[in-house]
Amino acid sequence: MTIAFPIKQLNTLDSDISGQKVYSNNYNDIYFQADIGMAEKQHVFLKGNNLPKNWQQHAHFTIAETGFGTGLNFLNTFKLWHKNNNGKQHLHYISCELHPFKRQQLQQILVAFPELEEYSKELLEKYPTILTYGFHRLHFQQYNLTLTLIFADCVTAFEQLQANVDAWFLDGFGPSKNPNMWSDRLFRVIANLSHINTSLATFTVARKIRDGLSAVGFSINKAPGFGQKREMLTAQMGKDAVTKEKQPWAQTFKAKKAKTYAVIGAGIAGLSLADKLQQQGRKVVLFDRQHQPCLETSGNPQAMIMPALTLNDSPEARFYLTAFLYALRYYDKKYYHPVGVQQLAFSNKQKNWQNKLIERFDLPEQLLTKTEAGLFYPLAGWLDTQGHAQNMGQNLNYQQAEIIKIDRDKEQWHMQGLDGAIYTTDVLILANGMNAKKLLNGYDLPITPKHGQISYFQANDKHKQIGACSHIQLAEGYITPSWHGIQTLGATFDHIDEPICYGAASTEKDHWQRNTSLWNGTDYEDYFKSLSSHKARAGIRATTADHLPICGAIIKQSKFKLDYHDIHHGKHWKQYPLPQAVENLYVLTGLGSRGFTSAPLLAESLCNQILATPQVLSHELQKAINPNRFLFKELKRK
C-alpha cells in the first residue's frame, strides 16, 4: 500500500530570489510577474472568484489553492479578509505545495511586499519550522482565519483532504512548464471537493485545462486577463460532488441541530476539545468529577511532549509526528518548555534501533539529530500541565459533577450526576479516559487500563554536575530537568483490573525503587541516593492495542455487524453501506502514554468532525483513529 505522506524531508527548489523577482530554475518559470505580481494575483484569483462578495453570505468559507509558493495569494486573501468580514465569519484557506520554501527564504521574498507586512509577519511567525509531508494547520485566531498547508503533490494532497471547497485558486506553474500538475486526476479530485456553485479561477486558458474542468462539471468562462495578458479563466461548478467518502466504514459524522455541547472529562483531552469548540463560538460545558481540570491522570506536573518514531513508516509514527508538530504551535510558550529530549543509546539493542532509524529516514535536523549519547529531539520538551490547565480553565464553563449515567430522548442527551442532578445537552462527548467505557454500557470500546506512577523530588546541587541535566533524559525511564527545584522521574506501567481502574488511581510504595532502578549504573544512581525525600503521583492510562487513540462518533454496532457480517469473504468494501451513528454522541479516549502530544490535534480533528469544517487530518490518519476500526478489522478477519 502506498503511503500518502511518508516520513521524510521535502526537497526545496533551486530558485533565484532578488527583490520582487522569484524564478524557479527547476521549472524555468516565474512565481509571479515582477512589480505587478500582487496586482495580477488580486485580479485573477480574488476578482476571478468574486471575492469578497462571494464570502459575505457564508458563516464559514473555504478556499483551496494549488501551489502555495511564496504565499502571495494567501497574503492578499488574508488582507482582503481582514478588512471585509463581519467578525463572526470564519475563513479557511487550504493550499498544497510540493516544494515548500524554508522560512528564511519566504522572509527574504516577502520583505519586497511592505503593503502585506502585517500579514507576512503573522505567517512567518507560524510557518512550519520542520518541513515534512502532510497536513500542517496554522491558526490565526484573532483574524478568524485558518491556514492548512498540505506539503505534497496536489493530487495526493487533495485526495487526502476532507473539505467542502467554496472557491478554487488554480495557480501552479503554467501547463506548458508543469504539465504533470494539470492532470485529469487533479480535475476529478477538485470536483469531488466542490459543491454546486463552487467558483474557480486560473490565469491559464489552455485548451487542456478548459476541457478538463468542463469534463468534471464546471462551466467555463473566459474573462479579461491582467495587464498585457488577454484572457484568464473563471468557472462555476454545476453539480454537487458525487463521491465524498472513500471507505464507508470510516465515515465521519457531523452533529445535527446542535446548540449546546457537553464534554465529560477535563483531562488534557476534554480540556483541549472544550477549548476548540469554544473557539468556534459554540456553547460548551466541561464536566469533571474533580474541582478543576487536569487533576487525575493528566495531573503530573511535567508532561513530556515528543514524536514517537518507529522503524517502519507506520500510521502510529505518522500520527504522533503530525500531533507533535501541531502541539508545538498549540501550547502557550509560557507553559511549554522546549528543552530538548536526549534519547540515550543505553543498550546495544537501543543503539542498533537508533542506527537503523537514522539510516532509514531522511529526517530534518530540527526534528532529530544523532549525538554521541544517542538521539536528540531539539524541539521536544515538557509542559507545565497545571499552569496550562489553569490558564485554559479560566475561560471555560466548568461544572464539577461525576456523571454516572447518560440517556437520550428524541431531542437531547441527559446526564445524571452522582448527586441525582440531571444535565441536558444537544451534543455529548465522552473524554473521560477509562470511564468512557463505563458510561457506554453495551458498546464495545476496546481500551485497556494501565496503571502508572511518576516520582518527583526536590533537586539538590548535585544535579548540576550531571552533564546533560538541561535536557529531558530518556532511556527505559525518563528524568526531567529541574524546574523551580523539582524534577520528575517516570514512569511505571502496570496492569490494573476493572473495576478499580474507574476510580482515581492510588500510589504504590514501590514507585521510588522502581523508577530509580531504571538508572542503575549511570551517574544518576548516586544522585538519587543523595536525595532526602520524594513523592509520587499515580494515574490510569487508557490504552489501545495499536497504540493509537480513539476519536470520533459512536456508531450503532449491532447494525454494523449485520451489514458487514460477510466482509471477510472479500467483497469490495465499496459495496457496503455507511454505518449509522448514535445521534450526536462522540468519544475521545485511548490517549495511552502520549496524551499531551496528541490531545491538541485530536481535539481539532473531533471539532472538525462535529462541525463539518475542513479536517485537520488526512483520510489516512483519520482512519487510523476512527473508533470503528477495531470492529471493522475484527469482521474482516473472521
Ligand X SMILES: C[S@@+](CC[C@H](N)C(=O)[O-])C[C@H]1O[C@@H](n2cnc3c(N)ncnc32)[C@H](O)[C@@H]1O
Ligand Y SMILES: Cc1cc2nc3c(=O)[nH]c(=O)nc-3n(C[C@H](O)[C@H](O)[C@H](O)COP(=O)(O)OP(=O)(O)OC[C@H]3O[C@@H](n4cnc5c(N)ncnc54)[C@H](O)[C@@H]3O)c2cc1C
Residues in touch with ligand Y (CB under 6 A): 264-270, 287-290, 295-298, 300, 303-304, 402-403, 431-433, 435, 452-454, 490-491, 539, 541, 589, 591-597
- Rounded to 10 degrees, the C-alpha dihedral 94/100/104/109 comes to -80
Q: Closer to ligand X at the Cβ: 158 or 324? A: 158
Contact 47, 232 (CB under 8 A): no
Q: Give which of ligand Y, ligand X, none residue 96 binds (C-beta under 5 to 8 Å, depending on kind).
A: ligand X
Residue type (1 letter), 384: D
Q: Of residues 74-103, which lie at the interface with ligand X (CB under 6 A)?
A: 96-99
What 3-state DSSP class applies to 279?
helix
Q: Give which of ligand Y, ligand X, none residue 269 binds (C-beta under 5 to 8 Å, depending on kind).
A: ligand Y
**CA–CA dist 38, 227 (Å, integer):** 12
Is 237 near ligand X (CB under 6 A)? no
Contact 350, 476 (CB under 8 A): no
Q: Closer to ligand Y at the Cβ: 502 or 576? A: 502
How far, in Å, are 157, 311, 542, 591 from residue 344 at the CA level?
A: 36, 17, 27, 25
How far, in Å, are 216, 249, 411 from residue 574 at the CA level?
A: 21, 9, 33
**CA–CA dist 292, 289 (Å, integer):** 9
Q: Closer to ligand Y at the Cβ: 253 or 287? A: 287
Q: Give which of ligand Y, ligand X, none residue 343 binds (C-beta under 5 to 8 Å, depending on kind).
A: none
Of the candidate residues 31, 81, 324, 377, the single one contacting ligand X (CB under 6 A): 31
Binding mask 179-218 for ligand X (x = CB under 6 A): --x-------------------------------------
Minimum CB–partner distance for residue 617 and ligand Y (Å): 18
Q: Give which of ligand X, ligand Y, none residue 433 binds (C-beta under 5 to 8 Å, depending on kind).
A: ligand Y
Binding mask 133-172 for ligand X (x = CB under 6 A): --------------------xx----------------xx
Cell of 343: 534519547
Nearest to 143 by CA among 70, 200, 93: 93
Structure letter (DSSP) for residue 579? P
Q: Closer to ligand Y at the Cβ: 235 or 375? A: 375
Minimum CB–partner distance for residue 252 and ligand Y (Å): 20
Q: Give which of ligand X, ligand Y, none residue 288 binds (C-beta under 5 to 8 Å, depending on kind).
A: ligand Y
Nearest to 264 by CA among 50, 370, 413: 413
Minimum CB–partner distance for residue 379 and ligand Y (Å): 15
Strands (E), 99-230: 134-140, 145-151, 165-170, 194-202, 218-224
Q: Closer to ligand X at the Cβ: 66 or 598? A: 66
Q: Give which of ligand Y, ligand X, none residue 39 binds (C-beta under 5 to 8 Å, depending on kind).
A: none
Structure letter (DSSP) for residue 401? -
Question: Strands 145-151, 90-97: parallel, antiparallel or unpaired by DSSP?
Answer: parallel
Q: Closer to ligand Y at the Cβ: 269 or 284? A: 269
How far, in Å, are 66, 198, 516 from residue 31 at the CA level?
A: 13, 26, 57
Q: Give which of ligand X, ligand Y, none residue 181 binds (C-beta under 5 to 8 Å, depending on kind).
A: ligand X
Residue linked to cell 474557480: 200
Q: Closer to ligand X at the Cβ: 41 or 547? A: 41
**CA–CA dist 74, 70 (Å, integer):** 9
Is 309 near ligand X (CB under 6 A)? no
Q: Closer to ligand Y at the Cβ: 138 or 304? A: 304
Query: Facing residues of 450 across strands?
Result: 495, 541
Cell of 556: 450503532
Only one of the segments 66-74, 256-264, 583-591, 623-631 lies at the binding site for ligand X (rule: CB under 6 A); that segment is 66-74
**CA–CA dist 496, 507 (Å, integer):** 12
Minimum CB–partner distance for residue 282 and ligand Y (Å): 19
Is 632 near ligand X (CB under 6 A)? no
Q: Of residues 472-511, which lie at the interface with ligand X (CB under 6 A)?
A: none
How far, in Å, are 53, 148, 162 from residue 90 at the CA level?
A: 15, 14, 17
Q: Give which of ligand Y, ligand X, none residue 70 binds (C-beta under 5 to 8 Å, depending on kind).
A: ligand X
Of the candidate residues 48, 67, 267, 579, the single one contacting ligand X (CB under 6 A): 67
Would you tell me how many other CB atoms lie within 10 Å of the CB of residue 175?
Answer: 17
User: Which residues contact ligand X (rule: CB under 6 A)?
Assistant: 13, 31, 41, 65, 67-73, 96-99, 153-154, 171-173, 178, 181
